[in-house]
Amino acid sequence: MSKSDTAKPANSMWGGRFASGPDAIMTAINASISFDQRLYAQDIAGSAAHAAMLARQGIITSNDAQAIREGLLTILSEIESGAFEFSDALEDIHLNIENRLTDMIGEAGKRLHTARSRNDQVAVDFRLWVRGQCDGAIEEITALMRAFVDQAQAGADWVMPGFTHLQTAQPVTWGHHMLAYVEMLNRDRGRFEDARLRMNECPLGAAALAGTGFPIDRDYTAKELGFDRPTANSLDSVSDRDFALEFLSAASICALHLSRFAEELVIWSSAQFRFVRLSDRWTTGSSIMPQKKNPDAAELLRAKIGRIMGAQVALLTVMKGLPLTYSKDMQEDKEQVFDAADTLMLALAAMTGMVGDMTANRAVLAQAAASGFSTATDLADWLVRTLNLPFREAHHITGALVAMADSAGVDLPDLSLAQMQSVHGGITQAVFSVLGVENSIRSRQSYGGTSPIRVAEQAARWKAALG
Q: Which helix (H) or strand (E) holds 176?
A: helix 174-199
User: Is the dihedral angle over the CA atoms 272, 274, 275, 279 positive or is it negative?
Assistant: positive
**CB-CB neighbours of 430 under 10 Å:** 9
Instruction: Tell me the C-alpha distance between 366 and 173, whole Å.
Output: 9
Q: For residue 392, which amino acid is it? A: R
Q: Which position among 165, 407, 416, 446 bears the catalytic label?
A: 165
Spatial contact of 201 and 227, defined as CB atoms under 8 Å apart: yes
> 114: cis peptide before it, omega within 30°?
no
List of residues 6+ apart from 229 with CB closer than 8 A: 201, 202, 219, 222
CB 154: neighbour CB atoms within 10 A?
16
- The DSSP secondary-structure symbol of 344 reads H
Active site residue 252: no
Exactly one of 77, 270, 279, 286 is catalytic; which is it? 286
What's the rounded Cα separation, in Å, for the pair 126 and 133? 11
Q: Kindly report the number of other CB atoms within 10 A of residue 63's CB atom.
A: 10
What is the Cα–Cα distance from 333 to 322, expressed in whole angstroms?
13
Residue 433 and residue 411 in contact, taking contact as beta carbons nearer than 8 Å: no
Task: For residue 165, indicate whether it is catalytic.
Answer: yes
Do 227 and 203 touch, CB atoms closer than 8 A?
A: no
322: Cα separation from own chain's centroid: 27
C-alpha 71/C-alpha 111 separation (Å) is 13
**310: Cα within 13 Å, side-chain hemisphere:** 10
Whole-angstrom Cα Rg for the chain: 31
Residues carrying an active site annotation: 165, 286
